[in-house]
Amino acid sequence: MADWELLPKEDAARPMEAPPRIEPPQAVYRKHRLVLAFAVAAISDVLAVAVALVPPLQWALDVVTAFLLFLILGRQWLILPGLIAEAIPGIAVFPFWVLVVASIAVWGKISKQPS
């Protein structure tokens, strides 16, 4: 006697269920990078308000933020206008880094980093 058995045939009257939707790995990878970029931008904007009265610290924070976003999002030249806007004195109260990441998420392309 065989160690296996035949499964019963599926009921033809019952409609077949759709398989669960699985997102491609690129879409999941892109979402993770966007979430990380938004987190970096939000933290930078909060810290920028705290160091607004110390320009050298604010400049250093903006350069580090631009560099991190450049690493996370790839070669996005939309980061440069954000860096220029953050260099204007007194504008640090606006969340420019979050707006830059949002504009990249909406209009820009996040390229896959070479491995």
- The per-residue pLDDT for range 44-95, each reduced to its tens digit, is 999 988 888 888 898 999 999 999 999 998 888 888 888 888 888 777 678 8
Higher confidence at residue 23 or residue 47? 47
Residue pair 64/97 in contact (Cβ under 8 Å)? The answer is no
Query: Could you tell me which of 111, 66, 109, 107 has the C-alpha nearest to residue 85?
Result: 66
Residue pair 82/93 in contact (Cβ under 8 Å)? The answer is no
pLDDT for 93: 73
CA–CA separation, 104 vs 3, rounded Å?
Answer: 58
